[in-house]
Chain A
Amino acid sequence: MNNFFDIRARQAAAAKGTAASSSKQTGTTENQRLQPWVEKYRPRSLDDVTAQDHTVTVLRRTLQSANLPHMLFYGPPGTGKTSTVLALAKQLYGPELIKTRVLELNASDERGISIVREKVKDFARMQLSNPPSGPAGEEYRKKYPCPPYKIIVLDEADSMTQDAQSALRRTMETYSKITRFCLICNYVTRIIDPLASRCSKFRFKSLDERNAGRRIEDIAKLEGVALEDGVVDTLLRCSQGDLRKAITFLQSAARLAGAGQVTNREQKKPKRTKIEDAEDDDEDIDAMDVDAKASASASSTAVTVRSIEDIAGVIPNATISDLTTAIQPTGPGTLYSRVSRTVTSLVADGWSASQVITQMYDAIVLSDEAIGDWQKTKIVLCFSEVDKRLVDGSDEHLTILDLCLQIAGILGAR
């Protein structure tokens, strides 16, 4: 009996402790400015997740019922897989329980078979932690459903070894009463069949431009970054549907454009931190956004299209069209010297070869209608060979020169 009260008392103390420590946390908000925007603007609830309607509807239903299947999320990078599962966990468990109920492992953690055997299994086996009891707990339960299972999130599951995946099979079944798995991967084919068949699959489709664009505009507004016309389109084009990439680019560009404005933002900080002391961290961040908005008027330099392209390492169209005109067969004799001069200056300017071939591919294969299908098929072969060589680490200068001359040869042969 004595023991029991002890626990009560300890919990009460802990609750007090967290209240006290929350005032300390405001110190860390100082660092929030340094936080990547990708983390800062992760969706906080399922409603915030953009463009994945089907998945979100299904998951929202699980919020009402107390049941959840094992899940397998797959889709291209930057489409919100991790964000969705984190948002779901947050809504299910709330800030207190999430630490003890959710285990997140991603590829940067050691994840060989031994980890699956020990860490994952231990966590899966563990008893459920309880929501805080007493009236505070009642309140908490009302806010968050706290269903009786834990979630293990295995991010980038396709980079797990086959052995590690097979070791999961039995674990998933044995502890299914108290544990749910959520596997996240880019390529569903790399997940072994026995695992895939145990999960209900959700495909995340590539974000459509409208939704992604709106999200970027929102963030820019909240951060007080002025955008030039066309910046959003450029961002979307450079990032190829990967919202995370787009946001990172935006942040880097804003840093460069507004590097001088940081000081006045910092001056406002102390005032705010005192007011927000008692409130929880969601609101804290919202308030931060308001603050950022206030300083929006102060930052004068806008993010330009050029700076985005610079950061993304995109080669200006003029340079690429130089190259494509150089390889057109106009008059024999000068071809080599023309191509080699262009390629040499391209390499000296430091453009990365993989970027060069991506953009050349767009320019020649996708958008040049004048080239016949037969020639295009041959050209595509060259691209494939060159890409492989570059990945193997061949010399960029020789490889690009080779590619250009071969394409020129094919174009000349018609």
Chain B
Amino acid sequence: MALLVDKHRPRTLESLTYHPDLSARLSSLAASGDFPHLLIYGPSGAGKKTRITATLRALYGPGAEKIRIDSRVFLTTSNRKLEFNIVSSNYHLEITPSDVGNYDRVVIQDLLKEVAQTQQVDLAAKQRFKVVVINEADSLTRDAQAALRRTMEKYSPNLRLMLLANSTGNIIAPIRSRCLLMRVAAPTEAEIMDVLAKVGKKENYKSCEDLERRIAHDSERNLRRALLMFEAVHAQNDNPSDKTSIPPPDWEALIGVIATDIISERSPARILQVRAKLYDLLTHCIPATTILKTLTFKLMPKIDDGLKSEVIKWAAFYDHRIRMGSKAIFHLEAFVAKFMRLYEGNLLGMDIDFDD
């Protein structure tokens, strides 16, 4: 059984529920034959991918949905072999170059060149060009982006790129200026409720507006998350009512526990306990920056208003450290210790900062 998220994913541009002007733009671009390179950005769970699949369908018809997965092997300059998965249909292919880390330039160059040099084989195809969808374009290395730049110009008759990114900040200016930028904003809570109601109706769930409102609120405007939560609630309770609690994901619950731990006792012994939990999270592949961010926002409601901006300051500071440093646990612990000190200092009414 497919998840609700996949089962009810809109397949055509017309059936997209929110951002009607964006859909209209995409469909008129798809119809015009003069299709530019696209750079689609927005927060996760906003529907970037859904929009792209729908656009591909508008460009090529239902054939674009018949996808297969091949595994390819690339050779790097130092003769290392790289395994790389490509999702493709007859008309497009989809790659996530950040899978191969620093070697993404090799993949980009080899693969795109190969695609671009062959013309569309299928004579019945509606468009002369093929489309390459690049996921997580903002984590491409500079080298790979520079390589992309040349490819985009050189092979533009045979090839269109669709780049997906969370933010345009990490994409170099020459690429940005070659693409048509499209921002997909996250749906508002009302829009999420709308979707939940529709999906609930199709699944014959009992409608329950208050529950939907709470889910929409808890999802932080992330539609995918909202749908997963919605499904979880209905899977766990046969007959959910307005008061059914919404179970948070395991890791979030654990971070919540950490937050209460930190607040209740501030001592080196407690740091040791917290460390075990942090390790637990890290070994379950929760990114360190996500842990830090979630922890910060879990701590926020529990502390004095005066302290909040100071805590955020240090959270941002250690977030930066995590990105630049090599071992995440150091910085997470440092944040915990820092927080304890700030909190203690605030309780005692001291305003001394030992760092200066």
Cβ–Cβ contact B168 & A336, under 8 A: no
Cβ–Cβ contact B177 & A244, under 8 A: yes
Cβ–Cβ contact B32 & A398, under 8 A: no
The majority secondary structure among interface residues of chain A is helix
List of A residues within 8 angstroms of B302 by Cβ: none
Cβ–Cβ contact A255 & B180, under 8 A: yes
Cβ–Cβ contact A350 & B315, under 8 A: no
Cβ–Cβ contact B312 & A394, under 8 A: no
The reply to whether the CB of A205 lies closer than 8 angstroms to some CB of chain B is no
Q: Which of A256-264, A287-295, A361-369 contacts B (4 or more CB under 8 A)?
A: A256-264
The reply to whether the CB of B186 lies closer than 8 angstroms to some CB of chain A is yes
> In chain B, what residue has the closest Cβ to A337?
B305
The reply to whether the CB of A409 lies closer than 8 angstroms to some CB of chain B is yes
List of A residues within 8 angstroms of B147 by Cβ: 108
Given the known interface contacts A262-B33, A336-B308, A396-B167, the answer about A108 and B293 at a Cβ–Cβ threshold of 8 Å is no
Cβ–Cβ contact A399 & B186, under 8 A: no
> In chain B, what residue has the closest Cβ to A396?
B167
Which of the listed residues B178, B183, B292 has the most CB atoms from chain A within 10 Å of its own CB? B183
Cβ–Cβ contact A408 & B309, under 8 A: yes
The reply to whether the CB of B83 lies closer than 8 angstroms to some CB of chain A is no
A-side interface size class = 35 or more
Contact residue among A256, A336, A351, A391 (Cβ-Cβ distance under 8 Å from B300): A336
Tell me the residues in window 22-57 of chain B with beta carbons closer than 8 Å to chain A beta carbons.
Answer: 25, 28-29, 31-34, 36, 41-43, 46
Contact residue among A255, A352, A398 (Cβ-Cβ distance under 8 Å from B34): A255
Given the known interface contacts A335-B305, A395-B319, A408-B309, the answer about A252 and B36 at a Cβ–Cβ threshold of 8 Å is yes
Cβ–Cβ contact B181 & A262, under 8 A: no
Q: Given the complex of chains A and B, what is the CA–CA distance between A398 and B299 in angstroms? A: 14
Which of the listed residues A353, A392, A402 has the most CB atoms from chain B within 10 Å of its own CB? A402
Cβ–Cβ contact B309 & A392, under 8 A: no
List of B residues within 8 angstroms of A260 by Cβ: 28, 31-32
Q: Given the complex of chains A and B, what is the CA–CA distance between A397 and B312 in angstroms? A: 11
List of A residues within 8 angstroms of B316 by Cβ: 389, 394-395, 398-399, 401-402
For chains A and B in complex, what number of residue pairs have CB atoms within 8 angstroms?
A: 130
Cβ–Cβ contact B293 & A395, under 8 A: yes
List of B residues within 8 angstroms of A395 by Cβ: 289, 293, 316, 319
Which of the listed residues B34, B156, B324 has the most CB atoms from chain A within 10 Å of its own CB? B34
Contact residue among B33, B149, B177, B186 (Cβ-Cβ distance under 8 Å from A348): B186
B-side interface size class = 35 or more
Cβ–Cβ contact B319 & A398, under 8 A: yes
Q: Given the complex of chains A and B, what is the CA–CA distance between A408 and B177 in angstroms? A: 34
The reply to whether the CB of B198 lies closer than 8 angstroms to some CB of chain A is no
The reply to whether the CB of B254 lies closer than 8 angstroms to some CB of chain A is no
The reply to whether the CB of B320 lies closer than 8 angstroms to some CB of chain A is yes
List of A residues within 8 angstroms of B170 by Cβ: 393
Give the distance to chain B from A412, nearest Cβ to Cβ, in Å: 10
Cβ–Cβ contact B221 & A401, under 8 A: no
The reply to whether the CB of A381 lies closer than 8 angstroms to some CB of chain B is no
Q: Given the complex of chains A and B, what is the CA–CA distance between A153 and B289 in angstroms? A: 45
Which of the listed residues B46, B157, B308 has the most CB atoms from chain A within 10 Å of its own CB? B308
Cβ–Cβ contact A34 & B167, under 8 A: no
List of B residues within 8 angstroms of A31 by Cβ: 157
List of A residues within 8 angstroms of B156 by Cβ: 34
Cβ–Cβ contact B313 & A405, under 8 A: yes
Q: Given the complex of chains A and B, what is the CA–CA distance between A62 and B185 in angstroms? A: 54
List of A residues within 8 angstroms of B25 by Cβ: 256, 259
Q: List 13 A-B contacts (CB under 8 A).
A: A33-B34, A248-B177, A252-B180, A252-B181, A262-B34, A310-B183, A312-B181, A348-B186, A392-B323, A394-B316, A394-B320, A395-B289, A399-B319
